[in-house]
Structure 1
Amino acid sequence: MNEQDELPAVKQQSKLTTTRIHIKLKKTLKTELEQKASENFMSLSQLLLQSARTSTITIKRTDAPKSSKELLVMTAAYNKFGSQLNMLAKHCNTFKENSNTMKILSCLIDIERGITELKAELLGEL
């Protein structure tokens, strides 16, 4: 009985404390990494672990909008253009035969100009 009591303790000590990480790679990149690992007599896991431990990662941060007010103005303008496009689409679907094509094209051109002006203003190209 003494041996049976010790057996579960041995099993508990030998439990692995590892975990898995799943990543998505293109097949060509996976093949390239596997080739690099085999050239260095390593498994793919060993190569990735060594690379992660010895490399320095630089994170590039992008600047947030200058103020939340600018973001709100931009969002409101895009919503306005979207609303105009929805009204035109509804009109075209409702009055297919009687639609004034020239007026619709004129409205679409106005919306396109508005989006272009907004883009130029946001990117500082005005």
Structure 2
Amino acid sequence: MLYICYKKCTTCKKVEKLMQDKKLSYQTREIDKENPSKEELKKWYEESGLDIKRFFNTSGKIYREENLKDKLKEMSLDEKLERLSKDGMLVKRPILIDGDKFFIGQDVKKYIESL
């Protein structure tokens, strides 16, 4: 399992504690230090079947400051992926990749709880 998180995020901390309590084996990647690439984001988007908006941290400072709520409507998929790849803090978290399964946001906790 690959767990992509932001160490200061309370949701990420809770999910990681849950994973530790369940003694799950996983690798951690800090999203603020190792930003997902455009290629990774595109792969995750295509494989997950989720709307691209789900990949944006809509409650984050950058999302609000750049008024992305309105701008996303006019952006192409390629432009959205490019923007996400430029700053990990803009990407929704946590993210969990377990083999061919992909989870983002609150779905990560639900999946871990189901194991």
**TM-score by structure 2 length?**
0.22
Greater per-residue strand proportion: 2
**TM-score by structure 1 length?**
0.21
